[in-house]
Structures are given as C-alpha cells and as structure tokens.
Amino acid sequence: MAARSLRNGKIYADFIQGHEAIVIPGFRLSDMINRHATGPQEENDGASDNEDDGSDSEPREMEATHLPSAVRQPPIKKTPRKTPLVQAARQRWEAKIENSAPPMPSAPSLSKKDRKRARLRGNRAVKREVLGEVPGTPKAPKAVALKRMRESSPVPVSFSFSSHPGVASTGWMGVREPEADFEPEQRVYSFEEARALPGMQVYEWDETQGPLVDEDRYVIGVFAAHPRDADWDEEVAQKAAALMEEAGDGIYNRVFSGVYYGTRRTERKQTSKKTPPRGTYHARAYGNSMGGGQPFPQPFYQNVVNTIILVGLLAQTPFQRIAGFTNSIFQTYAPDLHAYYYSTMEKLHEWNTNLKRNFPSDMSVFAATTLNFDLQTLTFPHLDYANLAWGWCSITSLGNFDPDKGGHLILWDLKLIVRFPPGYTILIPSALIRHSNTSIQPNEKRFSFTQYTAAGIFRFVDNGFRSDVSVEARNMTDAERAERVEARKHRWVEGLKMYRRWPTESK
C-alpha cells in the first residue's frame, strides 16, 4: 500500500511539472505528495474543504479557467432518489444541520460495529416517520398479510356475539356456566357423533384463510391456516410435534435421550378425584397469569426440571415461527384488539421487570401458553372463562393424524364442526364460545399449542396495578363507586369496539 501511494505521488508530481500553466491558489504540491505517500486518509465527518468552516478567511476556490482542457471536466450531478424514505432522511439531516450546536471537541472515533448500529437506528427512525409508526406501539402488519386478508373469504355464522349471555357482570371475563340452548355431555365426541347432532354443520377447512363473521358483521375469530412457506409442514408442524413428544417424555416420565432420571415424586399430587373440565390429558401452562385470589400477576408454578424443558421448548425455531405467524394474523384481522393486548403487556412488564415473557414482544402479545403433551390430546366441551371476555385465544393443532376422520374442532355455540389439520392455527374468543375436539384414530398422535391472556391481568393494569380487592378496600367516595359501576356496564360494549366489522360485500 505504501509503495503504491509513493508511486501515485510521483505520477502526480510528474504531471504537475509537465503542466506549468496550471495555477491553483492555495495549493501546495508537497501537500498532495505527502497525502498520497502516507496511505489512505480518514474520511472527514464534517463539511468539505470548500465549505464555510466558520472562520473569517475566504473559502479557497480552484480557478478552473487555468486548467488545461484535457483536465477540465463538467461536474457530475447526482440526482437523489425520490423515495419517501430518502426524502424523509434528507429533511431530518438538513434540520439537524440547521439546529446544530457549535462544534464540540472531537470524541473518540466509533468502531465499525458501533457506526453500523448507529446508522441502522437512524434508518429505523426514518422508517417509523414515513410509515407513521408511533413509539411504544406494535409495528404495522406486513403488506403480504394485508393482501392475504383482502383476498380471504369470510365464514358466516348465525350467531350474535354482541348479545352473548355469558359475559360476567364486571365485563372482564366469562361466566363458568352460561345459558345455552344445548348442553353437550362432558366427554370426548367422535366426528360421526358430533355430525349427527341436530343443527350441526361441517366446515371443510382447507388451506384457505378467512375470518369468522357473526350476524352483526363482527370478526369474532380467524381461520388462520398456516403461512404459504413451502417448508412449513416439514420444518414447523412435524418438528414441533416431535419436540412436544420428546418434552412430554421429559416432564412426565423423566426420560431424556433414553436415560431414565427417576419418578414423578417431585410433581404435585392430585388430591381431587374430580374429572378436569377440559379432559384427562397431560398439559403444562407456562407464562404469567392472574386469578384465584392472586394479588398480582405471577408466573405459573413449575419445578426446576419442567421449567428448563419448557423454556427450551419455546426457544425452538418451530414454536418461534408459530408464535410470529399467530401474532401477524391477530394484528391483521383485529388491529385495535391486538394493540390493547400489546399496550397492556408493555405496561405490565414495565411495572414488574422480573416477569419473563414467553416470546419477544414483537413476536407475541399473549401472556401465557398451554402445551398439551398427551399423545392423543382430546378435550371435553369447555370454556376458558377466565380469559378476557372479548379477547382471543390461539390454538395450533400438531401431530400425525387424518384430519378427515378426526381431530375436528367443535364450536358448540356456533353449531360448527371445523376440519382442523396438523399445523393449522385458529383464533377464537375462548372465554365465551364452548369448544372441544373430536377423537382421532388409534395409533395416531395429536398435540396442541395454545396462547392466551387471563382477564385478571387486564383488570389489574386497568386498576392502576392493583387488584379489585385492593381498590375496593380503600375508602372510596360515592362518586368513585358510581364510576366503577358505570364502567362495568359499558366495558363489554367498549370491548366490542375493538373488533373489526367485515364489509357486507367481501372482496
């Protein structure tokens, strides 16, 4: 490099000596030779040599008229790109120069990595300005997600969600046993049994995506299916099922890579012989929740071994991709509801930084997940009434089974039996719509992965990070009590405003 610089300096010197007519005021040949002899120079972060540096001296200009015609070249004008991002960046830079303070003493030069990081931060800031993104809110959905939503066909149901009788008096959650025209038995139904019930309809769900729309045109759920990635079935659905089966062995049998580690004596003993309302299958909940008299949101209890297994499971790429896809669908079809979930979770984790998330905030807005590990996860008709009344719960089906013969999702209040293949995801208001799944064939396997947020978390944040018991225990004025009663009356109506209204004529 040094030899090349010296050689270039000699070439410039020979050139100057051969053109004695060149007159460049303020220019010294030794400066140029020394500049090229010392190797590459640092870039100037400020103005160029021909720009005003704030001194009283006149800027040094090159008299182009004294240059030979062979040397003179017309200036090259670069036309800037007229994209919105470039224009916004130019405006930001010009404003920064106009409002800049007097130059400070030079700071230590940044490393290449730090310079790149600063540049990327600036690019993201410009992008947020152009797209109108507000700090503290989720990013806008991708264009491909919006395009697919516009191309989707709605799934209409004869049901009025706004007049649902199962909303609790507080408006936050559902009731345990709402009034219904038909009460299914607490057992597993086969596909043939469910289809034979009066009024039941079968929805042959294929790879199409579509919103679940009620009589008032409210989008009360989404048949999300799966992304159009060619590797989704092999790299996500099948691998997620294999990971769940392996994790289930570790949690319930203490088997890790073929090594037996002991019995289940460390597990909590089930003292009640009452049949669980959702079914007799193995499941583990992980994340944060609030209910049952808890004074504030807390993580679900898991012992050390189970915690390690569950954390490692959720960190695997298949579950990361499922969570990200679900989050995108949620935001696309219910942006206001998604934003409510997002802001609530942000406030909660800012209030208590010790609470851990299952996934990053830009990947999932749900507070908790339940992983159903049974080799044949079969549920009874049930309600997740402790979830937010107008909130959504995502259900992802996994395993190896024939979806035409079993594993269907039954939405009992909608009288709808949905074909639910492995790798598919659906979002429904699980607190108000009873649901279950049908049996599968012998020797088949079915798992499920659900995400949700308890109503108690929303109530806790809305109360100013206090429980209802704590709020009502203090000396409240009559006006404050009346305000709380009035808020309960309108909470359900205000929650419905977060739902999208599907147009009458779908595109």
- 490-507 residue pLDDT tens: 999 999 999 999 998 644
- Look at 2-16, 314-328, 374-388 and tell me which has the smallest mean pLDDT: 2-16
State both tokens at 255: 């088997």
The pTM score is 0.72
Q: 57: buried, middle or exposed (CB in 10 Å: 19+, 13-18, 0-12)? A: exposed
Per the structure block, which two tokens stand in for 114?
């730090």
CA distance linking residue 403 with residue 405, whole number of Å? 5
Which residue, chain included where needed, has tokens 């944060």? 288
Q: How far is Cα 161 from Cα 218, in angstroms, rounded to an integer? A: 8
Element (H, E) at 260: strand 259-260
Region 181-203 average pLDDT: 93
| pLDDT value for 230 | 93
pLDDT exceeds cutoff 60 at 37:
no
pLDDT tens column, 355-403: 999 999 999 999 999 999 989 988 999 999 999 999 999 999 999 999 9
Average model confidence (pLDDT) across the chain: 80
Higher per-residue confidence, 481 vs 11: 481
Q: Phi and psi (nearest 5°) for 84?
A: -55, -35
- 358 touches 311 (CB < 8 A): no
Give the model's pLDDT for residue 117: 74
Q: Would you say residue 174 has pLDDT above 60?
A: yes
For 8-17, 326-335, 421-430, which range has the lowest pLDDT when averaged over its residues? Answer: 8-17
Cα–Cα distance for residue pair 279/435, rounded to 1 Å: 12
Helices and strands: H and E segment counts in the chain: 13, 15
Residue among 250, 354, 347 nearest 308 (CA): 250
Predicted local confidence at residue 74, as pLDDT: 58
- Write the CB contacts of 304 (distance below 8 Å, at least 6 apart in sequence): none
- Cβ-proximal residues to 437 (8 Å cutoff; 6+ apart), any chain: 377, 378, 379, 407, 408, 409, 410, 420, 446, 448
Helix, coil or strand: residue 480 = helix
| Pairwise CA distance, residues 265 & 250, whole Å | 14
Tokens of 88: 């916004």
Better-predicted residue by pLDDT, 315 or 477 = 315
Q: What is the mean pLDDT of residues 425-440?
A: 96
Q: What percent of the chain has pLDDT over 70?
A: 69
- Burial label for 437, CB within 10 Å (0-12, 13-18, 19+), is buried
Q: Is 465 left (phi over 0), alpha (psi -120 to 50) or beta?
A: left
